[in-house]
Amino acid sequence: MEDVRIKDKTFTPYIGEADLQHRIKTLARELNEVYLDKHPLLVPVLNGAFLFTADLIREMNTGPEVHFIRVSSYGNEMTSSGNMKVPLGLETEIRGRHVIIVEDIVDSGYTCDYLMDYFQSFEPASVIIITLLYKPASHKGKYKPDYVCFEIPPEFVVGYGLDYAQHGRELRGIYRLKA
Ligand code: IMP
Ligand code: MG
């Protein structure tokens, strides 16, 4: 893997494709055991979680349903704006379901807090958060993610669904901002 240039910034390889795929397979195996016969409802948060979700569900054998939602984004900046919109696109019954919120990355944790409270208000059978990446040093929220593929330092990353100013989502690995 080589450095990539996105707009005004340079990003350097951080987590390779093989490591991502291997970790996602082991996570799917864990979820397959926990959600055996439960037909979980996966709720991935657009846009960042689309590749993670695509790879994860192809390793799941619990008959998952998938309903993508969208909340507010970072815009084109590299820090959280903090203002959260109502999730868009959720038109399915939540009550009594086993909900798995799927995030690309948990940073401040405010998005997760908002979504956890939102989903709990519909009385699901259970609700958890899974995330590809987690920055524990940046976390300020109430809820920690229940399953994490990789803990990372509080640095800005792109690739495998994550963007910098809407670019870099197509990269097969994760890259971090070069100092
Ligand atoms: P939080 O509410 O601060 O936890 O932010 C969550 C959202 O911010 C994620 O779903 C991402 O869309 C975005 N985000 C946070 N850190 C990064 C990063 O390092 N790269 C790209 N997007 C990020
Ligand atoms: Mg996101």
**Among 81, 105, 152, residue to substitute to test ligand 1 (most atoms within 8 Å of Cβ):** 105
The model's pLDDT over 6-42, given as tens digits with 9 standing for 90+, comes to 999 999 999 999 999 999 999 999 999 999 999 999 9
Q: Mind spelling out the 3-state secondary structure of the chain?
A: CCCEEECCEEEEEEECHHHHHHHHHHHHHHHHHHCCCCCCEEEEEECCCHHHHHHHHCCCCCCCEECCEECCCCCCCCCCCCCCCCCECCCCCCCCCEEEEEEEEECCCHHHHHHHHHHHCCCCCEEEEEEEEECHHHCCCCCCCCEEEEECCCCCEEECCECECCECCCCCCEEEECC
Ligand 1 atom nearest residue 107's Cα: 4
Write down the pTM of the prediction.
0.94
Q: Which of 107, 113, 146, 163 is catalytic?
A: 107
The pLDDT, as a whole number, for residue 75 is 54
Question: How many angstroms does the Cα of residue 47 sit away from the middle of ligand 2?
Answer: 6
- Proximal ligand: closest to the CA of 82: 1
Give the pLDDT band of residue 82 (cuts 50, 70, 90).
low
State the average pLDDT over residues 86-109: 90
How much is the pLDDT for 1?
Answer: 82
